[in-house]
Amino acid sequence: MTQKKKKKKPIWKRYKLVLPGKQKAPVQTTGEKRTVVRHRLRLRKEVIYVLLGIVALLCLIFIPRSIQSSNLKKLGYNKEEIKAIREQKLASRLLDNSYYSPYLASCIKDKSVNTDYLNFYAIIKGDRTLSAQDFLLIHRLREKGYTDGQIENMYKSLKFYEMTPLLVFDYQYNEQAYIDDCKNHADNSPNNFTLSGNYYTPYLDTHPVDDESSVEMLVNKSYYLSESYVPANLTGMSNWYAAEGRELAGVAADAFKELCDGGRAVGVTFYTTSAYRSYEQQDALYKSYVQAYGQERTDELSARPGFSEHQTGFTVDVAATNEDDKTDFEQTNAYRWLSMNCMDFGWILRYPEGKKDITGYDFESWHYRYVGKDVARAVYEKNMTFDEFYMLYLKPWSGDDVKPSEAILKATDFRAKAEPEPEETPNS
């Protein structure tokens, strides 16, 4: 008979798992027979602790991550957006403040979001977007005294051109009333802006001009020139360009000659009837108006002494020649040409039509102000009053705590591609 082969024991019997503390010495046989040592797997305490630690670490990483993903999905973010959120380390800020909008999500996804303004991205709706111009405006509104809550409320409902007048107006404690007024004027546009309420009190909160030596200075019913101010290089104008005895600051005199010559080159002729006025001359003119019309009406027609742009030496009132059949200057070829070309020579129409609520003056088709070519072109292209433009782009910052980043200032620098203007010498 053939001898039956012994069946091998299953591997689970040959290798026994022996836990620490309950180990038995291996059985050995000596002598003629071969020594057989049964191998046993041993797991030390240290190994168990390491394994448990790895499991705990994985739980600490992946469970909160999973919960975080779930919460971001509840806000509205999809898988790709959540990946971008993690790459930019924004998850905590978004979840802590419940920030979400389709616009914010798309900007995070394409990595164009400016993370300093997440709260504003979160309130943007529809086709509206945010740019460096908006961030600049946000900082100017903060400088004016508005809180982020108030500014967010404005951005929920108002367009850019509806908010820039607030830089000129008095501070509005109840911004909602202003918002409602704007919404009630649905026909307003960048070309025409009217309101029912009164948001600006002329001559109430007044300040000296920021820089009397600058051609870009703002003079209006809030910013005034000193009684002693006289323009630099005050220059008399020839009868070819002005009525008898008219004077302008040197740089403005040269620029007005170029403006007149530019018109003549295409058959349009005009001259200045009023240019520089001293503080004393403006004082006498204002008082004569008060006697004739009363102070309330006079304040609508004429500036108080120190608050007149004519004292800058950069301002002219213009009349057309050879157009005696036109009763109003706005009907003349001179006005049509000036309104379309004056910015190329460094001049702006100072008090445009439909902007009285901002400038404080009715439309004056004949009143032009020299500000330099780069500023004039920018004012025209942005379709803003000079009051708004100055307060947004030119006014010196009151402190570093309200000033935006250099990146924003650089992105909103309208001079970046402009040719340098001739420098004005100090005031005489």
Question: What are the C-alpha distances in Å from 24 to residues 10, 17, 51, 278, 316?
Answer: 20, 11, 25, 113, 111
At residue 317, what are phi and psi to the nearest 5 degrees?
Answer: -105, 135
Question: According to CATH, where is 3.30.1380.10 located in the chain?
Answer: 207-401
The tokens for 295 are 């102070």
3-state helix, strand, coil in the chain (%, to 5): 45, 10, 45
User: Closest by alpha carbon to 121, among 97, 108, 104?
Assistant: 104
In DSSP terms, 248 is beta-bridged to 235
The predicted structure's pLDDT at residue 350:
98
Q: Give the global pTM.
A: 0.83
pLDDT in tens, the chain (428 residues): 455 555 555 544 554 544 455 455 555 555 555 554 554 545 566 666 566 566 555 555 556 677 888 899 999 999 999 999 999 999 999 999 999 999 999 999 999 999 999 999 999 988 899 999 999 999 999 999 999 999 999 999 999 999 999 999 999 999 999 999 999 999 999 999 999 999 999 999 999 999 999 999 999 999 999 999 999 899 999 999 999 999 999 999 999 999 999 999 999 999 999 999 999 999 999 999 999 999 989 998 899 999 999 999 999 999 999 888 788 999 999 999 999 999 999 999 999 999 999 999 999 999 999 999 999 999 999 999 999 999 999 999 999 999 999 999 999 999 986 444 444 443 43
Burial status of residue 390 (CB atoms within 10 A of its CB: 0-12, 13-18, 19 or more): buried
User: Closest by alpha carbon to 322, among 314, 332, 312, 308?
Assistant: 332
The tokens for 377 are 């072109």
Burial status of residue 218 (CB atoms within 10 A of its CB: 0-12, 13-18, 19 or more): buried
State which H helix or E strand residue 208 sits in: strand 207-208
The tokens for 65 are 């991550």
Given CATH 3.30.1380.10, say whether it is the number of domain 207-401.
yes
